[in-house]
Structure 1
Amino acid sequence: MSRPRSGPLLFLGALIAALLLGLVPFPDPLDGFKPYWIGLLVIYMALEAPERLGLGVAFLVGLAADIVYGTLLGEQALRLCILAFLVLRFRARLRFFPLSQQALAVLVLLANDRVVVLAVRVASGEGVPRADFWISPVVGMLLWPWVFLLLDQLRLRARHRDV
């Protein structure tokens, strides 16, 4: 008889942590510096555990984020589906990049996410956001090595506990 795997619990815990980190308020002048924590988690899971994160799971996580953050229903779901699709599509190449090159790829992915957000907001009549709207992908790029190493360490510990 095999033990229950802790992978789903790790993913669920990381998802709850990412949702809570996204709720942390920033002062208004620094609001553009808030990283897209759920996006970073989806990128990591699509790179390192694609069997746990497909487009359907990304969509459900996005719907949960829409509910928690109070955004337009489906906005986060669309964003995370596009993000997951791009990472899963180029996963074979991205996995073997060093962390510095992965961070640049994360910058491109998060900048693409910002373009999707901009399109959704303009289409829904919200208008164009402030210029600091574009800083968040840079912050995500700078945080990527630490996020990757933290989640990788947690995943490896959970795997060794299961053995």
Structure 2
Amino acid sequence: MRPAQGLGFIYLSLLAALLLTVIPVPYQLTLFRPDWALLVVMYWTLALPRRVNIGTAFVVGFLTDVLVGTVLGVNALAFSVVSFVVGVNYLKIRNFAVIQQALLVGLLLALYQLLVFWLSHFLTGVNFRPAYLWPVVIGMLVWPWLFWLLRRYRRQLKIQ
């Protein structure tokens, strides 16, 4: 596969994750929606850190800010910090079993939620609710399936 085709699939998967982030769901399920865009950014940063890096994470985070309607830059900064942590430690994380990766992804998602809460609290006065942590738990449960799906397509399409 040519490099441009591989990059096209990466961007397509990021676009699909952004669409999953804003697709309407019943009100009762909104708290249980995983952070799709961040999960996909973490996968690609882990798999191909030279193609998907902090800059890509910042752009996807900024697009998430625009689509969700939060203060501009909050998700962009949080995505960048999480992507930096994954990018610096990608060789170690790759050697973990998928269940261990899911636990680490849970920690990174908790870091993301904490950063978003802190920034939102200082900028708009949002108060903390324990329900903010549901996307962390759901993201941990979704990670093995998302990892398997994206890795399967990455290998099938020979994206490097």
Distance 1:70 1:125, change over 3 A: closer
Alpha-carbon displacement from aligned partner over 1:10-54 (angstroms, at most 9, x marks no partner): 111101100100012233333211100011011101110111112
Match of 1:157 in 2: 156
Deviation larger for 137-146 or 61-70: 61-70
Work out whether 1:133 is the aligned partner of 2:132.
Answer: yes
Native 8 Å contact 1:6 1:159 kept in 2:
no
1:118 equivalent in alignment to 2:122:
no
Moved over 4 A (4+): none
- Which whole-Å CA distance do the structure 1 matches of 2:135 and 2:96 have between them? 22
**Matched-pair contact (CA < 8 Å) for 1:104–1:141:** yes
Superposed CA RMSD in Å reads: 1.7
Whether the 8 Å CA contact 1:63–1:77 is kept in 2: the answer is yes
Q: Does 1:17 align with 2:16?
A: yes
| TM-score between the two structures when normalised by the length of structure 2 | 0.93
Consecutive unaligned residues in structure 1, runs of 5 or more = none
> 2:66 aligned with 1:46, yes or no?
no
3-state SS of 1:80 partner = helix
Task: Indicate the percent of aligned positions where both proteins have the same amino acid.
Answer: 36
Give the match for residue 80 of structure 1: 79
Distance in 2, Cα, partners of 1:59 & 1:84: 9
* Amino acid paired to 2:49: P
Structure 2 unaligned runs (5+)? none
Q: Distance in 2 between matches of 1:107 and 1:3?
A: 34
